Each structure stands twice: as structure tokens, then as C-alpha cells.
Amino acid sequence: MIRLTRHISLGLTGLLTAVSLYESTPPALVISALLLSLLWIFLSGRFPLLHNLMLPLFVLLVLLGHLFGNSMIIGLLLFYLILFSWDIDSLYFHSKGIILKDDELKLLHPLLMRYILSAFIVGFVWLISAQITISISFWPLAASTLILIVLLKKLFRN
Amino acid sequence: MNRKLPLIISSAAILFTALVTRNGILLLLLTPLLIRFIQKAETENFSFEISREISDRRIRENEETEVILTIKNTGSAIARIRIEEHPSSSMEVTGGKTSILTTMPGDSFTTLQYRVKCRRGRHTFHPVSVETWNHFGLNRQRFKLESDDEIIAAPDSIQLGSLPINVRKTLVFAGLNPSGQGGDGVYFYDTREYQSGDSLRHIHWSAVARRPEKLISKEFEQERVSDIGIILDARHDAYEECGNSSSIEYAIEACSALSGILLSLQNRVGLLIYGKYLNWTRPGYGKMQNERIRHELSLVETGTHQVFKSLKNLPENLFPERSQLIFISPLMSNDIDFLRRLKGRGYMIIVIYLDCLSLSVDRDPLVLKLVRLEREIMIGNMERAGISVLKWDLNDSIENLIQRNRGKLRMALRGVR
């Protein structure tokens, strides 16, 4: 089941990213999205570095799509799909292809629950942000910088 | 794979874009990423207990046995855990699973069940590797869990149908070997004048008919046990000299087969493995001794120790005086002197010469011819010294070798040149 879910979600990620980029961006980006998803499906098993590269690359495509005029809601949904694919991919490779049927549900269930929870949080923030216009001024900028520093600190600690 | 790095790069890219475009809504994308970092590290209270249940710890070569590995999580709950069992390379996994990815609540256990087939020898298990992650596949932690389990695979021996054993020196206990002395027994040995107490059934009536003036009794040959020592040559150089270091498996097979049949014929058999070190199995009788010998044979490895390079350090006093010795070896050129010395001390010697050259196919024919010639000369010299040599073509079985050399063996064991 995990294998099938992985293939479907990776395929969908590539396809939907390409579709989202189709109208607003140059065709090269569309083709890149499709090629990247093919690489991800078929070669990330042989080259684990590809797995790590795919998340930033697809995030970049989503951000580019947003810059070229895609709506935020599409970007957000795509981003969720990419993250989900990335997590399923990690689950598949951690299992090394061997996983018992009973365990598949046990592993997938908490992951899905966390996605639903985070979707609720994002939806809630979205609803609030729809009421007030957020433009980056001093305080958000300071908060963002702090978050970045915390993330970098985590990176170097590891 | 460090999965945090791509997350941080993606977060940084989103932040950077949000800052450049001054679009706060983009920061929403950070929420799922931040959830991953906020997740509590679940790596603090992990502890495991490991145990292995092996259906048969002592098996025959190439026999299968079932292994059940149980890992108990005695710490906190683990969201994602991969357990990998690593049997040694000499074990072949024939069924079941040796790795698993699962979740483990606190105080729970999981099992891995698989079957292995083993070559001859002692087989150990590498440490079980355990990797844990949180629900998002982050915070990886690795553990190596050790457990001193082993499987011993004894050599698979051929059951020899018979061995024409007829040893010159016998012990006092009743056995199955003709002792060369008259007395109670099964086989006719001689005739003598009737003595009071002799059973009437033992009167040799044909002899009495020829000479009616006196009664003649039949005498039977006493059957006793014998002392037999088997010497297994495990010198690496001996096997390497003939270009096939794996031929020791044939020597072990022969050793196992011979000790099996000799013990079943109620002899007292001892084993000396000469190679890596001196491995001496004291002479004994019966099935227990057979098991002891098989156990030692299962652990045989060739050795390259300088002390054991030649046979001169072989302690001949280990074997009872004038007992029968069976030396199983591919022979080295300087072995003949020692064997002659043994013969001179009154031991009866049979050499089972492993013709490793019979397995060599990639050697220069001229070199092969010269080596064969040298070996033939050595065997000739040994036979002239009263040592019986059975040349074993390794393409043939030990049983055929014994069958083909029945006469030679009988003569050798009787001490006839």
C-alpha cells in the first residue's frame, strides 16, 4: 500500500505542479516539473541524494508559480501534496521495500492525522489572514528572522 | 540521509521569497514545516531487550533451522522503527524476513522470524541494527544490539556401509574386532585338544572322525575393541600446495565418515586436528564420542601457524602405543620422515592421501605431471616403509575409496606389508 501510495502521490505531484505552471510560466518549467517527478519516482531509490533535493526543487517551482501569478490557495495545496509525497517517499525508503501489511496502516495513520491537523491550523490562519491584510512590516520581519536563526541553529546542532 | 537539511532550505527559500515580495501570506507555507521542528524529539528514553530463539542450535551442514528474533521496547513509544537482523555471510536465509519497519508502543515487542541454511562451521550473528525516527521521518537514532547466539553446523557425513577393520593391537574389552587370539567368539579360529569344560557343541567332529583316538575342540577368535587415532591435517600450506584450499572439506567428510563407522564398530576413537592449533579429542566410545568428534570437525579451519608448518611437532605420545593411526592429508613433501618415525615406534599407519590435483583444471599440464610424479615417488617411499596409502581421487566418494581398497586396508590393519 505504501509503495502504491508513493507512486501515485509522486506522479500526482509532478502532474499537478506541471498543470499549475502550464498557463502562467514558460514551458521549460512545466517540462522540468514532469522530468523531476519522473526522476523522483524511478531514480531516488538508487541515488538517495535525489530524495533530499526534490523537496527544495519542488518548493522552488511552487514559489515560481506563485511569482508568475498563481493563486496562493493552489500553491498551498501543491505544497501540501509535495510534503506528503516527500514523507511517503521517506517511509518507503526507510522500509527498504519490505513492510508487513498490518504495519502499513500503523505507519500511515499517524502521518495522515498530522497532515489533517496541520491543514486545520493552516486553514485557521488563512481565515484570519483573509480578514486582515498582512504586509511584511517590522515585526513580521523580525519574527521571520528569528525563525530563520532558530532553524539554522538546529541545522548546525545536528 | 539527513532530512532536516532540505526542510531548512525550503523554509529559507519561502522566507526569502516572502521577504522579497513583501507577501506575508506566503509565510503560511511555513506552518507544516514548523510543525516538524516543533515536534518533540522522541529519542530520550529508548531502550531495548533482544533475544533469539533458535529451533536447533546444532544442525547438520546445509540443514535449515528457524530463528525467531524478539525485540522488546522497554522505553517510550517509537513512531517508526526499522529492525535489521544480520546473519553472518556463511548463513543463507531461505525464508522469512530479516528486516522490518514498524511502530512500537512502550513495553511492546516485535518479532522477526526467518529460516537459515548453514555451511559447516560456527555461525554467529552480527549486532542487530535498529533505527528509529519520529512520525515525519526525522530525529533518526541508531542502535546496535548484541546477543551472543550461535549455530553450529556439523559436517554432513556419509554413512559408510562397512570398514574392513582388523587391528593388530586390541584392548581387553569385548568388541567387534578380531583380536588374533583364541577364545569365545563367532568366527572359527583354530582347533585344539578337548579340555574338560568345553561345550560338546564345540567339538570338531570332522577332525575327530579323522583321528578317533582323541577329541578335538573348535576355537573361536576373540573379538575386542581397538584404539584408533585419526589425525586430520588442517595445515593451510598442505592444501595450498596442491592449489585447492577448500579441499579440507573432503578431509573433514572422510574424517567424519571414518570416525562414525569406527565408533559404530565399538572402537575407541580419538581425533587430533593439526593445523591452526592442536585440537585433541580424547579417545572415547559410542555416540557421545561421535558427537564430540563431529562438534570439533564443525569448527575446523586451516591454520598457518609456523609451529605447525611441518609434522615434527605432532605429539605422538597422545596415541596409545602400537595403536592404529589414520592420517588424512593432502601430504607435504617433508611429511614422510615423520610418518616413518611413527611407524618405527610401532604405530600402524594408514594414510588417506587427498589427491587435490584431481580437482585442478587450470594448471599447466607439465606442472601437474611433475607434481604428480613427485607425489607418486613419495607414496612409493611410504609404502616401502610399511605405511598403507589410500589415494583418494576427490572426484570420487570416500565410500568408493574404501570399497576399492578393502583388501589393502585389511592387510594394512593386520600389519602385513
User: Tell me, what's the ipTM?
Assistant: 0.82
Q: Which of B31, B100, B141 to mutate to test the interface with A (most CBs of A within 10 A)?
A: B31
Residue among B10, B15, B97 whose CB faces A98 most closely: B97
The distance in angstroms from the start CA to the end CA of chain B is: 74
Backbone dihedral region for residue B31 (phi beyond 0: left; psi -120 to 50: alpha; all else: beta)? alpha
Angle at B320 (CA atoms; ends B318, B323), nearest 5 degrees = 120
The reply to whether A72 touches chain B by the CB within 8 Å rule is yes
Q: What is the mean pLDDT of residues B117-123?
A: 87
* Residue B170: partners with Cβ closer than 8 Å, 6 or more residues away: B177, B179, B180, B222, B224, B225, B226
Q: What is the mean pLDDT of residues B288-310?
A: 87
Q: Which of A83, A49, A96, A52 is nearest to B80 (CA)?
A: A96
Predicted pLDDT at B415: 43
State the average pLDDT over residues A65-87.
Answer: 84
Is A69 within 8 Å of chain B by CB?
no
Q: What's the pLDDT score for residue B314?
A: 85
Cell numbers 565408533 correspond to B263
Q: Is A100 on the interface with B (CB under 8 A)?
A: yes
Helix (H), strand (E) at residue B67: strand B64-73
Strands B150-154 and B91-96: unpaired
Confidence of residue A97 (pLDDT cuts 50, 70, 90): low
Instruction: Flag whether residue B105 sits within 8 Å of chain A, measured between CB atoms.
Output: no
Q: Is the pLDDT of residue B8 over 90?
A: no
Region of poorest pLDDT, from B9-18, B256-265, B372-381? B9-18
Q: What is the pLDDT of residue B41?
A: 52
Report pLDDT for B293: 92
Q: What is the pLDDT of residue B417?
A: 39
DSSP 8-state secondary structure symbol assigned to residue B99 = E
| Residues of chain B above pLDDT 70, percent | 90
DSSP reduced 3-state for B225: strand
- The Cα–Cα gap between B19 and A134 comes to 12
Q: Is the pLDDT of residue B11 over 70?
A: yes
pLDDT in tens, A7-42: 888 888 888 888 888 877 788 888 888 888 888 888
- Please give the Cα distance from B320 to B317 (Å, whole number): 7
- The mean pLDDT of A70-94, rounded to a whole number, is 85
Q: Do A125 and B9 touch (CB under 8 A)?
A: no
Is the pLDDT confidence value at B416 over 50?
no
Q: Which helix (H) or strand (E) covers residue B114, if one does?
A: strand B108-118
Beta strand B170-193 pairing with B216-233: antiparallel
Question: What is the dihedral angle through the alpha carbons of A11, A13, A16, A20, rounded to the nearest 10 degrees?
Answer: -150
Q: What is the mean pLDDT of chain A?
A: 80
User: What does pTM read for this prediction?
Assistant: 0.71
For the ranges A19-23, B20-24, B38-42, B269-273, the lowest mean pLDDT is seen at B38-42
B246 vs A116 pLDDT, higher one: A116
pLDDT of residue B67: 93
Question: Whole-angstrom Cα distance, residue B232 to residue B228?
Answer: 13
CB-based contact (8 Å) between A68 and chain B?
Answer: no
